[in-house]
Amino acid sequence: MNFPDLIQTVLIYALPVIFAITLHEAAHGYVAHRLGDNTAWMMGRVTLNPMPHIDPMGTIVIPAVLYVVTGGTFLFGYARPVPVNFGRLYHPKRDMIWVSLAGPAINFIQAFVWLLAFYLLNILGVTEAYFVKMALAGVVVNVSMFVFNLFPLPPLDGGRVLVGLLPWRQAVWLSKVEPYGMYIVLALVAFHALNDYWMGPLMKWTLFALSLLLSPLEFLLKP
């Protein structure tokens, strides 16, 4: 990929990625605050300012290097995790589920909004490629984050949801996997298992669900 194409891609994806990461992390902190834990709130992490959520290495350097090296075929990155003291929640085991689901839920909502924006651009006859590509990028970025974070392995959100749902003995066993969780995920990525058996199928189903939600609008647009 040449330099102008790289700059164009960065400009298209920058806004969707910033919103996706910022709202995802802020949602975790906000729900935790509502359910009894003020840790993230007191540390200024319940904010729409993206700077407190950016991890220089995980949010900028690693994705940029991978994009250049792989030509955009493989991307991986992460934000600064929002600190949550689950022991301070009103009902720790149950409320852990809601705190964990908050991030993926906000990504699903953002994907819906970006797809709606894409439809509205078509309705208004806007053909400017930059805006159309940005709307589609917003859909892809947020659907990817939604599906990836729901993978049922700690420290990902899906893993913590599963810990909250399992009986105590099984929950304790699964929570012990958390320090090694990201290494396991990276191994699954390296062997294409995560994409083939999780990301690919669930992203298709999520896109189908979003299209279904917007089907009344599509029906109204038919001549």
List active site positions.
25
Q: What is the CA radius of gyration of the chain?
A: 18
- How far apart CA 99 and CA 213 sit, in angstroms, is 25
Does residue 176 contact residue 152 with C-beta atoms inside 8 Å?
Answer: no
- How far apart CA 154 and CA 183 sit, in angstroms, is 11
- How far apart CA 6 and CA 60 sit, in angstroms, is 14
DSSP for residue 51:
G
Burial of 25: CB neighbours in 10 Å, binned 0-12, 13-18, 19+: buried
- First-to-last CA distance in the chain? 40
Does residue 161 contact residue 101 with C-beta atoms inside 8 Å?
Answer: yes
Buried residues in 106-126 as b, exposed as e (16+ CB within 10 A): bbbebbbebbbbbeebeeeee
The residues near 160 (Cβ < 8 Å, ≥ 6 apart) are 96, 97, 99, 100, 154
